């Protein structure tokens, strides 16, 4: 047991460094710095290209709901309706997906047969492998027609709630349908994060709860959920970030229009990302610049949400 201090596993300092080492280290370091530069470049180029339209805008960019930048002079446009639609769709998706994702994570970790658990987790991951444009096609070609009678029933029986006021859209291409599809798309990421953190629940806590005579649900409520809270919150925020930025599924499902409305069952709302994809091919005048400005807003929102999520997860890891 004559433990000497293990020398650090660094290359021997033999005077001058080898040229290969210097070059390789420089290359590796350069790649890392390049990534930071790309991220900075995304922000910088967007700001530079958004500036002309923002400077020429005759309306207040943040509070206006209309979108009329495709002119050479005096454009008037704003992101209020778009930002509202984006947040609304993402909120619906988060509300629908989080409870289900927690349920799936609990199922995979604690309920499913041990031997099947990795296979079942893999099935859930497959949901993330399906491209968003296919979700869009599925949403417009299959899901929306199925939802038309459901929405009609909802307006009939729940119409007194302002959110579900009628008349329901006859094509079901509404913000609620988009939210449902988004919920499916963000299920895997929330599930994956929750699953990881549930797995890390200390064996001792779980067995202590069971030894006290707790049922499986009581064990989960007392030992697992408090421990996994930060992971679940972080995972949900990552899912929120993804739902905010999701483009194709929303662009294909929502009918192209632009109104700020609380009615989930009527068409009209639009999200930033979908709006950019729909408008870009027809943009003239200040159009492209204005769309870049809208993209900048989306970038800022998702950046804040994602940084918050990483912060929550990192803090949770430190506490445990």
Partner 1 sequence: MSTTTTQPPAPGPGPGPTRSDLRHGSLPNRFPAALLASCAAVVAGVLLAFGAFGFLLWGLLTAVSYAVIVVTASARVEGGRKATDRLVTALVYGCFVLAMLPLASVLWTVVGNGLARFDGYFLTVSMNGVLPSMDAGGAYHAVVGTLAITGMATLISVPIGVMTAVYLVEYAQGRMKRTIMFFVDVMTGIPSIVAGLFVVALWIMLFGPGRTNGAAGAIALAVLMVPVVVRSSEEMLRLVPQDLREASYALGVPKWRTITKVVLPTSAAGLTTGIMLAIARVIGETAPLILTAGTSAVSINWNLFDGQMMSLPVFIYSQVRMGGAVNYERAWAAALTLILVVMLLFFLARMIGRLFAPKAS
Closest of 50, 44, 47, 48 to residue 290, by C-alpha: 50
- Provide the angle, in degrees to the nearest 10, between the axes of the packed helices 272-279 and 287-319: 150
Q: What token pair was written down for 162?
A: 């302002």
Under the binding rule (CB under 8 A), the answer on residue 193 touching partner 1 is no
| Min dist. Cβ of residue 287 to partner 1 (A) | 11
| Min dist. Cβ of residue 162 to partner 1 (A) | 27
Among 197, 244, 265, 312, the residue binding partner 1 under the rule CB under 8 A is 244
Under the binding rule (CB under 8 A), the answer on residue 254 touching partner 1 is no
- Residue 226 has phi, psi (to 5 degrees) of -60, -40
**Start-end of H helices in the chain:** 19-56, 80-106, 117-129, 132-138, 144-158, 175-199, 203-211, 216-219, 225-245, 248-253, 272-279, 287-319
Number of residues in contact with partner 1, rule: CB under 8 A? Answer: 94
Cα dihedral across residues 254, 255, 259, 265: positive or negative: negative
Q: Burial level of 145, CB count in 10 A (0-12/13-18/19+)?
A: exposed
In the complex with partner 1, the residue whose CB is nearer, 51 or 260, is: 51
Q: Are 246 and 317 in contact (CB under 8 A)?
A: no
Under the binding rule (CB under 8 A), the answer on residue 218 touching partner 1 is yes
Report 268-287 residues binding partner 1 (CB under 8 A): 273, 276-277, 280-281
Place of tokens 């309306």: 59
| Min dist. Cβ of residue 78 to partner 1 (A) | 18
Report 116-145 residues binding partner 1 (CB under 8 A): 120, 123-124, 126-127, 129-138, 140-143
Contact range with partner 1 by CB under 8 A, out of 66-74, 153-161, 225-233, 304-312: 304-312
Neighbouring CB atoms inside 10 A of 21's CB total: 10
In the complex with partner 1, the residue whose CB is nearer, 80 or 283, is: 283
Site map 4..43 versus partner 1, x via CB under 8 A: -----xxxx-----x-xx-xxx-xxxxxx-xxx-xx-xx-
In the complex with partner 1, the residue whose CB is nearer, 165 or 214, is: 214
Under the binding rule (CB under 8 A), the answer on residue 226 touching partner 1 is no
Among 144, 154, 175, 187, the residue binding partner 1 under the rule CB under 8 A is 187
First and final C-alpha spacing in the chain:
32
Among 159, 216, 260, 268, the residue binding partner 1 under the rule CB under 8 A is 216
In the complex with partner 1, the residue whose CB is nearer, 29 or 156, is: 29
| Min dist. Cβ of residue 219 to partner 1 (A) | 9
Residue by residue, DSSP assigns 104-146 as HHHIIIIIS-TTTHHHHHHHHHHHHHS-HHHHHHHIIIIIHHH
Give the Å distances, CA to CA, from 31 to 36, 260, 264.
9, 44, 46
Under the binding rule (CB under 8 A), the answer on residue 55 touching partner 1 is no
Please give the DSSP secondary-structure letter assigned to residue 77. Answer: E
76 forms beta bridges with: 68
Under the binding rule (CB under 8 A), the answer on residue 207 touching partner 1 is no
Under the binding rule (CB under 8 A), the answer on residue 45 touching partner 1 is yes
| Min dist. Cβ of residue 288 to partner 1 (A) | 7
Under the binding rule (CB under 8 A), the answer on residue 51 touching partner 1 is no
In the complex with partner 1, the residue whose CB is nearer, 261 or 306, is: 306
| Min dist. Cβ of residue 111 to partner 1 (A) | 5
């Amino acid at each position: 047991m004559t433990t000497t201090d293990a020398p650090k596993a660094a290359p021997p300092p033999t005077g001058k460094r080898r040229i290969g080492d210097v070059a390789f280290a420089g290359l590796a370091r350069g790649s890392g710095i390049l990534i930071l530069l790309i991220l900075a470049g995304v922000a910088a180029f967007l700001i530079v290209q958004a500036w002309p339209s923002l400077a020429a805008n005759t309306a207040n960019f943040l509070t206006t709901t209309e979108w009329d930048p495709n002119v050479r002079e005096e454009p008037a446009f704003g992101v209020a309706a778009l930002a509202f639609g984006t947040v609304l769709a993402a909120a619906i998706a988060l509300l629908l997906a989080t409870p289900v994702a927690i349920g799936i994570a609990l199922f995979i970790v604690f309920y499913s047969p041990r031997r099947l658990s990795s296979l079942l987790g893999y099935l859930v991951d497959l949901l993330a492998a399906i491209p968003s444009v296919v979700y869009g096609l599925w949403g417009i070609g299959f899901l929306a027609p199925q939802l038309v009678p459901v929405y009609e029933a909802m307006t009939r029986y729940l119409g007194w709630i302002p959110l579900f006021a009628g008349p329901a859209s006859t094509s079901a291409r509404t913000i609620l349908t988009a939210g449902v599809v988004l919920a499916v798309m963000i299920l895997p990421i929330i599930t994956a994060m929750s699953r990881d953190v549930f797995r890390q629940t200390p064996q001792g806590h779980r067995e202590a709860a069971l030894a006290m005579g707790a049922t499986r649900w009581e064990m989960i409520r007392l030992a697992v959920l408090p421990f996994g809270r930060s992971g679940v919150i972080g995972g949900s925020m990552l899912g929120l970030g993804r739902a905010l930025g999701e483009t194709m599924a929303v662009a294909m499902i929502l009918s192209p229009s632009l109104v700020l409305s609380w009615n989930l069952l009527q068409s009209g709302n639009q999200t930033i990302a979908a709006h950019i994809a729909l408008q870009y091919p027809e943009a003239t005048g200040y159009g492209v610049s204005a769309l870049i400005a809208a993209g900048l807003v989306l970038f800022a929102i998702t950046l804040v949400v994602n940084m918050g999520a990483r912060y929550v997860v990192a803090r949770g890891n430190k506490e445990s």
